[in-house]
Structure 1
Amino acid sequence: MPSFRYTGRDLHGARVNGAVEGISADAVASELLARQITPLTIEAESAQDSGADAFAVLRDKLRRKRVDLDELIIFSRQMYSLNKAGVPIIRAIGGLAESNRNLYFRGILQDVRASLESGQSMAVALNAHPKVFNNLFVSMVSVGENTGQLDQAFKQLSAYLELERETRKRIKQATRYPIFVLVAMGVALAVINLLVIPAFAKVFAQFHAQLPLPTRVLIGTSSFMREWWWLLLLGIVGGLYGFFKWIETDAGALKWDRIKLRLPIVGGIFERIALARFTRTFAMMYRAGVPLLQTLSINSASVGNRHIGEAILAIRESVERGEALTRSAHNSGLFTPLVLQMMAVGEETGALDDLFVEVADFYEQEVDYDLKQLADAIEPILIVAMGAMVLVLALGVFLPMWELGSAAQGRG
């Protein structure tokens, strides 16, 4: 975070000066005003003025520059409590900034406070930091400001973010065992190819006998790994780098999200997670009074899957042309007949938000069940893979032993 030198006057009119860190000059001015110091000049420190500039740059690069989901949940809860208690919004943001341990988040909140003091609305101030506050967050705050229910907007946001956190936690728990097994298999293969097989190869070479095909394959693979390990490592790192760069592009992200939905076993889980997120967010925003077309537009970017997001945009275009929401959803092919019936009832009765909550609950129950069954579904595949690995190793090691033993008995 950059450092600024300032001069100002305190409450008694005495001239004061010093240095303070901040995300911008406006944020520093806001910080000084909170200390009851009226700033006269604020200048960014140059590398020569700052002294240990190299260390400052290194410290800034190593400092965490992101806001976790847990921190957003705590922020939303605190904003709800402070707004409900009648604390002025500028004072609330300032207090949360001063008490925040995440220096990156603190700087953002200081900048938000400076924007509020300059006359901007809360939604506009938050929208200046899209990496932390997405369109969904900003839209909910905007509706809360316009309706005079900002506290309820933060309450709904905290509840939504808590559900998102629980979904991520369940996904991590379900994938922990398969990932552990795959890593263990990779380590075992590396140890066998680099240490075990070379030892057996030295023994077999002493007999100068024709080795079976599985043994020759194992020895050849081991020799290649020991001689060209750096090339394998370079290929893996380069492949991963290229893959992550590819999915950062719009075309790559869309293609990868489409592929994820077609993956065996987990593809359906990815789809239901995205649909649960869409229906839950739709219900929250529609209930808060966000217009239908705007709700669909924001949801298309918040479901976490570009392919499904494009389908939601297609639904929005159909609704904009005058078609009913249920019919547009049916044409998208995303939803099951049961869910479409629930949507139709909600649209006919005017309780669309309530029915979308029911649909979200339905999808989340499906996701919860699928995640619990994920380990059971993957376990047979892992067992077969481990069995095949053991079989290949057994054939490669023991076949030549049997043949050499038989040959020795025949000579005896």
Structure 2
Amino acid sequence: MTTTFVWQAKNKQGVDQAGEIEAANKDVVVAMLRRQGLSGIKAKKKPVEIHLFPEKVVEKDISIFFRQLATMINAGLPLVQCFELAERGSEKKAMTKLLRDVRQSLEGGNPLGETMRKFPNEFDRLTCALIEAGEQGGILDSILLRLCAYKEKALSLKAKIKSAMVYPIAILVVSFIVTSILMIFVIPIFAEMFADFGAELPAPTQIAMAISDIFVEFWYVVLFAPILLVMAIKALYKTPKGHYQLDKLLLALPVMGDVLRKASVARFCRTFSTLSAAGVPILEALDTVAETSGNVVIEEVILTSKDSISQGQTLTAPLEASKIFPVMVTQMISIGE
């Protein structure tokens, strides 16, 4: 198990230097720094920092770094030096640590694609597959630029989906609040007025009053119902069967389902195109596309298409049979085949 140490030392010219390094103990740190020609070494364990909201490396950080990396590789800089420069220029601690960890793995002789697979939270399967293809083909700089374009489009699409979902979600929340206020505070007042009249009320009015009584008597259930619903959905998502049924339900919803379906199809086309253009074998590409589809129903359809190809049949037939992919998309894929 390694620990992070902070160190200070002087180089051969007597210039002060400082930094952080991960090692098993202080003696290892001193030995590593001496091999680099440093003297007057002082090292101590880095204090533990407690953050209520710890920094995370997000897609935008990765996209910006890939563009910088492509520029440096294109300029002829060695890969390890590229990571050293990016590490020094990073202002985000989480990103700096990630770059340092990757650099140390590269210094150990590991390929970049293999190294990135050790950090699945930061580098998804698509990224690793493309990087490996770029390393094998000697076109890492162009692959990185292609990845940047892919990630930027993905972020743009995600922002558009969130924007499209804001209105219906806001309507649902406001409707729930207004209905609760009516049932708990307004309808009981009308109920007292109607009771004084002594007249027989229509069935719809009686039903509304009965529902109001439930809201008044079990207000705490109504208050916590949305929270319990979210917890139940999360619990269902953790089971394979529940995850499948919920994803199927999402695709069947009137407005939201259509948005999610189109987003998943767009992601499929963009990801598959990017992998194919990079020279990734089609079966491996479909595995990666399925994993990054974002919906297990669509993932199952893509894996069925993969099986179809491995058996010598077409990619298009399972996509058409699913009724998820638009006719235009399946026709264009068929033309491509």
Shared topology, TM-score over 0.5?
yes
1:177 to 1:327, Cα distance in 2 relative to 1, 3 A: closer
How far has the Cα of 1:170 moved from its partner?
1.9
In 2, the alpha carbon distance for the partners of 1:39 and 1:240 equals 57
Match of 1:135 among 104, 116, 125: 125
| Structure 2 match to 1:105 | 95
In 2, the alpha carbon distance for the partners of 1:169 and 1:91 equals 34
| Structure 2 match to 1:225 | 215
How far has the Cα of 1:7 moved from its partner?
6.0
Deviates more, 1:167-176 or 1:215-224: 215-224
1:209 aligns with 2:198: yes
**Structure 1, residues 255-305: CA drift from partner, whole Å, max 9, x if none?**
222222222344343223222211221111111111111111111111111
| Structure 2 match to 1:62 | 53
TM-score with structure 1 length normalisation? 0.68
User: Is the Cα–Cα contact under 8 Å of residues 5 and 23 in structure 2 kept in the other structure?
Assistant: no
1:219 to 1:333, Cα distance in 2 relative to 1, 3 A: closer
| Structure 1 match to 2:71 | 81
User: Is the Cα–Cα contact under 8 Å of residues 319 and 328 in structure 1 kept in the other structure?
Assistant: no
**Structure 1, residues 175-199: CA drift from partner, whole Å, max 9, x if none?**
2222222222222223333443445
1:245 aligns with 2:235: yes
How far has the Cα of 1:73 moved from its partner?
2.1
Larger Rg: 1
In 2, the alpha carbon distance for the partners of 1:38 and 1:135 equals 42
Name the SS for the 1:62 alignment partner. Answer: coil
Q: Residue type of the partner of 1:124?
A: E
1:101 to 1:342, Cα distance in 2 relative to 1, 3 A: same
Counting matched residue pairs gives 327
1:154 to 1:12, Cα distance in 2 relative to 1, 3 A: same
Q: Residue type of the partner of 2:147?
A: L
In 1, the alpha carbon distance for the partners of 2:212 and 2:316 equals 59
1:38 to 1:184, Cα distance in 2 relative to 1, 3 A: farther
In 2, the alpha carbon distance for the partners of 1:162 and 1:250 equals 31
In 2, the alpha carbon distance for the partners of 1:38 and 1:305 equals 56
**Structure 1, residues 42-99: CA drift from partner, whole Å, max 9, x if none?**
7756xxxx5xx6xx44x2x5313x3323222222222222222223222222332333
**Structure 1, residues 284-327: CA drift from partner, whole Å, max 9, x if none?**
11111111111111111111111111221122122222334445
| Structure 1 match to 2:252 | 262
Q: Cα RMSD over matched residues?
A: 3.6
User: Is the Cα–Cα contact under 8 Å of residues 314 and 332 in structure 1 kept in the other structure?
Assistant: no
| Structure 1 match to 2:226 | 236
Q: Residue type of the partner of 1:116?
A: L
Name the SS for the 1:289 alignment partner. Answer: coil
Match of 2:181 among 177, 191, 200: 191
In 2, the alpha carbon distance for the partners of 1:226 and 1:334 equals 44
TM-score with structure 2 length normalisation? 0.81
Deviates more, 1:327-336 or 1:179-188: 327-336
How far has the Cα of 1:18 moved from its partner?
9.1
How far has the Cα of 1:150 moved from its partner?
0.9
1:43 to 1:321, Cα distance in 2 relative to 1, 3 A: farther
In 2, the alpha carbon distance for the partners of 1:128 and 1:236 equals 38
